[in-house]
Amino acid sequence: MSDRKLHLALGVRDLDASIADYSQRLGCEPVLVIAGAYALWRTKTLNVSVRVTDEAPGLRHLGWEDAAAEANSAETDVNGIVWEHFSAAGQAEEIRALWPQCDYSGPDGKHRRIKSFVLRQGHLSKGQEKALHDFGPRYCLPYQPALLDLDATFGRSAPRVLEIGFGMGQATAEIAAGRPDSDFIGVEVHTPGVGSLLKLAGESGIGNLRIIQHDAVEVLQHMLAENSLAGVHIYFPDPWHKKRHHKRRLIQSPFVQLLVSRLQPGGYLHLATDWEDYAVQMLDVLSANAELVNSADGYAPRPDYRPLTKFENRGIKLGHGVWDLVFRKRQA
C-alpha cells in the first residue's frame, strides 16, 4: 500500500479560496496550479485535486494513485461513486491533454509553469539606475503572497487598473497622468523597464501609480482580490510568433479566466497587438468566455486614453496593422 495514494477529486466554484483552504488543511502547497481552472496536491498518503465547475461544489470522484497502474481506468461502486485508478505519470498525461499549455510531468519530472516571458538581463542606464534608487521606495511594491490593501496603498478609494507588461512605461505614465481619478498598478519583470517608468513617474510627480516587479500570474493569484479591478491593460504582449512557441502566449483561456475573476462587474479588459494571428487568437479566447461581452463588433477602435507609441507610429507608417480589443465583464 506504500505505493498507493487515496485520490479525492473535488469540484469547486472559487479556486483561490479552495487553494488557501486545502493548503492549510493538507499542510502543503499544491504541486500544480492552472490559473482559474485546477489545482493538485500530493502528500505521502493523498492525491487531492480541485477543479472549477459550474455545477454544485462537492465530490467529483474517488480513486487510487497507484505506481503499479499500467493505464488509467475507472469503475462505479455500489453507491454510484466513480473510482479512478491511475499512475502519477498517467494523471500527468491526462492533465496535459486537458490543458496543453501546462507542462506538468508528474512528481518524477521537472515541473514549471510555462511563462509568457523570458528574463533578459538588459542594459540598465545610469538614469534608470538612479530612478530605481531615488523613486523605487515611493512607487515599488514588493511581491507578497498575501492580498494587497489597495486603499491603504494609494491612500484613497478609487477605480484600480492593472497593466501587465508595461515595457519601458511611456504609455503607462501618460495614461496614469491623464486619468488622475483612477489608480494604476503596473506589473513588469524587466528591470530596465521598471527603471524607465520610475524615471518618468518620479520626474513628473505622478501620484496614482504603483509598480510590482514580478510574474503577473502570481500577482493576480495572491495579491489582488476578486472583483477588485475596474480595468486591465495588456498592450503588445510577446507574440511568440513561431507556432511551437504559441503555448507561451499570455492570452490563453485559463489566464483570461483569472483576469475576469479579478475584474469588477462592468470592468473592462483592453488588449492590443500588432500581430494579426495573435489578434485572432485573442478575439477567439475572449469571445469564448461567457462572462465577457465585446464592446465592439469584432476589433475595437483605439480608445483615446491609449497613446500611440513611437514603435506603433512607425509600424502604421509602414502599413502594419494594430488591433485593439475591449471586452467588459457582465454585470452580476
Which of 117, 96, 101, 149 is closest to 256 using CA atoms? 101
Grid coordinates representing 323 are 488591433
The residue assigned the cell 530596465 is 192
Catalytic residue positions?
238
E strands in the chain: 4-12, 32-34, 38-42, 46-52, 58-66, 73-76, 82-86, 160-164, 183-187, 209-212, 229-235, 263-273, 292-294, 323-329
Tell me if 62 sits within 8 A of 83, measured CB to CB: yes
Cα angle 263, 286, 247 (rounded to 5 degrees) comes to: 105
Return d(Cα 319, Cα 89) in angstroms, integer: 49
The CA-atom distances, in angstroms, between 63 and each of 5, 48, 60, 82 are 9, 10, 10, 8
Question: Residue 11 contacts by C-beta under 8 Å, 6 or more apart in sequence?
Answer: 50, 51, 52, 53, 55, 56, 57, 58, 59, 60
Place of cell 515611493: 138
| ∠ CA 325-329-217, rounded to 5° | 75
